[in-house]
Structure formats: structure tokens, C-alpha cells
Chains A and B, each alone.
Chain A
Amino acid sequence: MRIRAQVAMVMNLDKCIGCHTCSVTCKQTWTNREGTEYVWFNNVETKPGIGYPKHYEDQDRWKGGWKLDTKGRLVLRGGGRAKRLSRIFANPDLPAIDDYYEPATFDKDILVNAPAGLKDTPVKQPYSKLTGEPMSIEWGANWEDSLGGDSGKDDPNFRNMVEKVTFEFEKTFMFHLPRICEHCLNPACVSACPSGAMYKREEDGIVLVDQDRCRGWRMCVSACPYKKVYVNHATGKAEKCTLCFPRIEAGQPTICSETCVGRLRYLGILWYDEEAVLAAASVPEEELLDAQRAVFLDPFDPDVQRAAREAGHPEEWIEAAKASPVWKLISEYRIALPLHPEYRTLPMVWYVPPLSPVLDAAGAAGRDDTNADDIFHTIDDLRIPVAYLASLFTAGDTAAAGGVLMKLAAMRAYMRARTLDGTVAQELLDGIGMTGAQVEAMYRLLAIAKYDERYVIPAAHRGQAAALEELGGCSLDGEGGPGMGGGGRVPVTIASRRNP
């Protein structure tokens, strides 16, 4: 066993109002630079929808993530090392800028400088940030907001469903899906980086790109099935979500979490066994969800605590792991699920699936969406929303997805009875195999947990890296790189200087 810590996130999707505050604060912090105009380390998409970049979930097209070969071995979907190197000169699986969108800006001067007494109101014209030419805006990172447009029916998840989805249903449910890099345990991006510039941090599992060692082979972009590595076209280097590591190291939540209006994000650490990762990523599809859960180690188990201590993890981390809301949601209550476990990267941002599609479906079928029985029946017999959620979160296992939804529905019904007339609905508890105390704690965590309960982040142990201090310099501190500043060395970057 090799015990490691991972800073992981859970998002409770029922609470996301799709306000995009997280995306905007993230962008202001990390990607408001030339070359990253089209980049959203955090984006919020509406589901059903094709997402950002378009159809990123269609791995037949983009070849992201891992798959099992005919002998059952884990291989990158894009091919083995030699095959991918042979296609390095032009990468056939790289999304083009139009698969994201063409970033635009507006000529606002025209509003300010318009002479008085015009007959028509002056209009600001959008200009392409890539060419400087006037353009019309035809797509964006969030073009499908709240089922805008009619691209929702092309959602790749429908392809995995046996249920016949008519276009009608589209009016019956939708929800928002905020996405950041998953900081995977088995990161395909790191595995595909030819120069070894990408790495998973030993201390906290954050996946980063060393800006000084990236050579612009852009293999990581294709390999990531979530399309969360981006090419900065001004610097020619790859960039990705950093999980706000400078904040995490200081014991603070990421910017997207800190500013989340719905307060639906949870951050905490998980212990995992690095040596179990490969095996867990290599099991048959129907066992993936359980295998991924089994990689996490119980922070209350004295053997795990001893192993952590022996591996040199600070005492503060051992305590923080016990208080981790992420551990509770994933492993104790088992209501958080990974996004697309079938990509086999072992993503570390998990989601409490939304109950709202089921409630919407119940309503559309003329049932009472406040009645527990009606909701349970809807989960059982109106397959479409559950099958859709299963395609997102359980590799198509509708029983597993339905089970989580049952828990959420039961929690609501249990708490309603408890609050309104003080009764304990024992049959609901029996149905989901949880105790009243557990359900109430779960309710508290989901509904009213305060800042310190949602974010349990032990500060990086200063001793952990102090010995390496003289190596100095943050590798993300390049001119134009994420995390510019820090002083010291001034990079020259001849070939990436632009013409005026």
C-alpha cells in the first residue's frame, strides 16, 4: 500500500442555479490573459446539451481517456505511445478553436463617442479576438444556457441510452453542470504528455502543467476526456485548472468554491492507495463505480491512520481527513458519484446528482412531486431522467443512479415529516438502509453546512517542501503563464513575442 492524500471536490447539483459566478471569478483569477480568451477552467453547462467544447463527451470522436484493449489491459483511447508519437506533427484528435468558440470583444468606444442627436441608437459591433475583424457571435462556452438553442438533442449521452428519447422530453428537465479539471487519480493528460511536463503532485494530488517544461506537443488536450487542458495560443503551451493551489496550500478553498452562490461545493481530503489505482481503472465497466470507491481509504481506520503517519503525513492532515465532507458524501452516505467513471481516469470531482429531473418528470406525468411514493415510482418507472443521469454518473448503471436518487428523495420526505409533525418515518430509513442520525447529518451537510464544514482543507505542511526551498521560483510564473509574478528570473521568450 502507498498511501497518498488527494484534495477532492463534491458538487451538489440540485443547488446549482446556473449563475456562472464560479466561471467568472475563476476567469478573472486565472485566464483573463491573451491566448486564454476562450479558456474556462471552470465552466457551467446546461444538461442535456453538447457542452463545452462541443460534444466533448463523444470519445469516439475525440479519443479521450482510457479503454480496455482486447486483452483487458488499460490503454489510452488515443493509442499507444508509438502510435501517438507518430501523429505528433498534426494531432488528428485535437479540437479546433471553433469547437470551443471564437472569442469576441466589443467596440465600446462607439457608444462613448457617438455624437449627440443621432436618429438611431449606436450599436457596438463584436470583434474577433483572434483576427480583430468584425464578426457575428455564433457560439459560446455557454450557448445552450437553460436549454437555449436546439443542440440539446445532440447530447452524446443520449446515444448511450436504450430508452427512446423523444424531443418532447427536453421540455421536461434540465439542470446545470459546473465542471473543472477532475484532478484525476489516473490522469490521461499526464499519461499522454510526451515531455513529462504534466504531473500529479505528491502532496495533494493536484494535476499541474510545468510551464517551463511544456513543449507544446498538445497531446494532453486530446487525452483528457473532459477537455480540461487547453492550449494557450499566445504562449504555445498547455494550461489547465490548478485547483487554485496557492489557496489550497494556504488552507483556503478554490475561488470557484469560495464564491459559489449556491454554496454547493465541498472540499476535503481523501486518503487513497496509489498502488490500487491501476487495478481499479481496469475493471469491467459495470464494476467501475464500486472499484473507484474502493480506492479510497477509511480515515477512521487505525491502520490507515498509522500508514499515513508512517508515510510522513502531518497529524493535521490525518485529522482533516476524518472531518472531510467529501469522504462523507462519497463513501459514508454514498450519494456522490463520479462524472463519467467509464473514462477510467478516476476523476476526483464528484457530484451529488440532481433530483430535479425526477421531480420535473413526476410533475410532467401528473404526479405529486412532494409525495415520496410518487417520486419513488417516478424513479422506478419513468426511466428517461434516471437513465440520463446514469449515463453521466454511473457508466449507465440505472440501479446505482436510482439508488442515490431514492436516498435524496427519502431524505426530503423524512425531514419533511420530522419538521412538520415530528414523526420518524422508519419505513423510509429502512428503504435506504440508513439511520435517522445519518440522514439528519446528511441533510445538515447538504442543506445548511457552514463554510468550515464545507471546506476542510489542511494547510500545506511548511516542512513538507521547505528542504527544497533553494530550487525557488514557481514554475507557473512565466510571462503570460498562469500565476505570473513572483519576481526573480525574467523570461525572454523570443519566439513567442508578438508583432505589435
Chain B
Amino acid sequence: MSTLVWIVLPYACLAVFVAGHVWRWRHDQFGWTTHTSQLLENRLLRLGSPLFHLGAFGVIGGHAMGLLVPASWTAAAGVSEHTYHLVSVTGGTITGVMLVAGLALLIARRFVSGRIRRVTTTMDRILYAAMAAMVVLGMSGTVVINLLGDGYDYRETLAVWFRGIFWLRPDPALMSDAPLVFQLHAIGGFLFLALWPFTRLVHVWSAPLAYLWRPYVVYRGRRTPAPAAQPAPAAVRKVVTPSS
């Protein structure tokens, strides 16, 4: 059981994540879009979308810092446990609040505005449910256990297991004693990655950074062969009504 959840599941999800993106990229360029809905609803999006995105960048950055950087490195760099805690709690709180507020606005918008409700796809619903679940699990882990409760040192356990997946040496024992919310958040995270390529989140990989260097006007040649020239109407008229 433990092997299944902490070894097989993560690899399966990562495989779906990679294969899903390859498949979608090759077969669904036309669906590869943010699927903007600002045209239909502007007021809530103007506030919600920037809050959500900036929050998401912060949260993603925070996860990268917490999961990928071993505690021994930060210690070696002379960052005390206290400083690390301070930075991660402050940063986490600010970006977390932004993410939650933004997500709440984006979800509210999908219910409140009839125009938006009508264009919301099943995949959108799944995505918002998944994101909301992830946020709730993550926040309750941090707030209930680490801020109010006894605390759980994920850097020596969860993070080590997580990195082990990429070193091909995942140790399920590190996870079996983790508090339930952290276990669920970790499982949920991998399932979320498996969902990613099939949602509008693919737009993340198209972040248009190249625009910063590109010349303004793009010229491009026609890529399909030209059709045969059509006869002029006068010629057609002659054929249809031959003059005597």
C-alpha cells in the first residue's frame, strides 16, 4: 500500500503529466490557450486574475524553495532555522492570501455571472475544484499543524521523499508517519500535475517571454499553395451565355 501511494502514484502522475503535454501539444494546438473570458466579464476578473496569478507565482516559488532546497544547504549558507521560518511564514502568508482571494474571486465569477457560467466547461469545474481542494489542504496543513499545532518538519521528511522521486530513490517510510493533511496534500499535488495537461493550465508553458526581444512586426510567407486562378466574371459570362 505504502509503495503504491508513495512510489507508484507519483511516477504514474508524472508520466501522465509529461505524456499528456506531448500529446496535447501535438494534437491540440488550437485548444492551447488561456481561453480568456475577460470579454464577457471584466469587473471581478480585473481584481481576481492578477491576485490569483501573482499569488500562484509566489506559492509555486515557495514550494520550489521548500521542497527542492535541502535544509542542510540553507543551514550551510548560514540561514538560521528562525530566519528561514520567518521568511517562509511571511512570504507564504502574503502569497497564500493573494492566491486564496484571487481564486475565490475567479470561482465566484463562474457562479455569479450568467455569461461566464454558460462558457464554463466541465474541465473548468474539475480544475477549480482541484485547485480549491489543494489550497484548502495546504492551508490547513500550515495553519492548523504548523502555526497552531505541534508543528511538522516537512523539510526533513516530506521534502526528502519528494526529492527522492527525482533521484529515483523515493523512500515511502518518510511519508507514512506524516500527518494526514500533509499526506493528502502531497497525493493531491501529484494528481493535480496529472490533470494539468488536460486543462487550460497549459497556457503557463506559453508564457510569452520571447516577446521582450522580438521585433514588433512579424512577416511570414504563405505556407499553403495558392489555389488556381479563377476565370474573370466576363469570361464566365461568355461561356454561360455564348453570344451568337
Contacts and interface: CB of A to CB of B under 8 A. Distances in A.
Interface of A: 81-82, 85, 88-92, 94-97, 130-133, 186-187, 190-191, 193-196, 198-203, 211-218, 231, 233-237, 246, 249-252, 274, 451-452, 459-462, 464-466, 468-469, 471-475, 478-479, 481, 491-499
Contacts of A474: 224
Contacts of B122: 499
B31 to A, nearest CB: 4
Interface in B5-60: 24, 27-42, 45-50, 52-54
14 contacts: A90-B47, A94-B42, A131-B118, A186-B217, A235-B30, A249-B227, A250-B226, A452-B234, A468-B222, A469-B224, A474-B224, A492-B31, A495-B121, A495-B200
Given A202-B220, A451-B233, A236 B36 contact: yes
Contacts of A190: 216-218
A201 B222 contact: yes
Contacts of A471: 223-224
- Among A90, A92, A231, max chain B CB count under 10 A is at A90
A476 B42 CA distance: 28
A interface, over-half SS: loop
Interface in B140-196: none
Interface string B74-103: 000000000000000000000000000000
Contact of B222 (A88, A132, A464, A481): A464
Given A90-B50, A96-B42, A496-B31, 8 more contacts: A89-B49, A94-B42, A215-B32, A250-B226, A495-B202, A496-B30, A497-B121, A499-B121
Contact of B29 (A193, A199, A212, A233): A212
A130 B202 CA distance: 26
B114 A131 contact: yes
Given A215-B32, A234-B119, A465-B221, A82 B200 contact: no
B212 interface: yes
Contacts of B219: 199-202, 274
Contact of A478 (B30, B34, B217, B221): B30
Contact of B28 (A193, A452, A494): A494
A459 B32 CA distance: 34
B1 interface: no
Contacts of B118: 130-132
A195 B36 contact: no
B120 to A, nearest CB: 7
B239 interface: no
Contacts of A237: 30, 33
Interface of B: 24, 27-42, 45-50, 52-54, 114-115, 117-124, 198-200, 202-203, 206, 208, 210-212, 214, 216-230, 232-234
Contacts of B234: 451-452
Contact of A191 (B40, B121, B217, B227): B217
10 shortest interchain CB distances as A-B pairs: A194-B208, A459-B229, A460-B226, A236-B35, A493-B31, A191-B216, A478-B30, A216-B33, A212-B29, A199-B220
Contact of A473 (B32, B198, B224, B232): B224
Contacts of A201: 219-222
A252 B233 CA distance: 9
A251 B227 CA distance: 9
Contacts, number: 215
A468 B223 contact: yes
B80 to A, nearest CB: 35
Contact of B230 (A195, A251, A478, A496): A251
A233 B119 contact: yes
Contact of B33 (A199, A236, A499): A236
Contacts of A92: 46
A10 B234 CA distance: 23
Contact of B208 (A85, A95, A186, A492): A85
A434 B30 CA distance: 54
Contact of B211 (A85, A89, A131): A85
A445 to B, nearest CB: 18
B115 A130 contact: yes
- Among B37, B216, B228, B230, max chain A CB count under 10 A is at B216
A373 B53 CA distance: 66
A94 B42 CA distance: 9
Contacts of B54: 89
Given A234-B119, A495-B123, A200 B224 contact: no
A70 B180 CA distance: 60
Contact of A90 (B45, B198, B202): B45
A316 B29 CA distance: 37
Nearest to B35: A236
Contacts of A133: 114
B49 A90 contact: yes
B224 A491 contact: no
A179 B58 CA distance: 45
A468 B46 contact: no
B223 A465 contact: yes
Contacts of A131: 114-115, 117-118
Contacts of B199: 495
A98 B136 CA distance: 36
B225 A469 contact: yes
Contacts of B233: 451
Nearest to A130: B115
Nearest to A232: B39
B36 A216 contact: yes
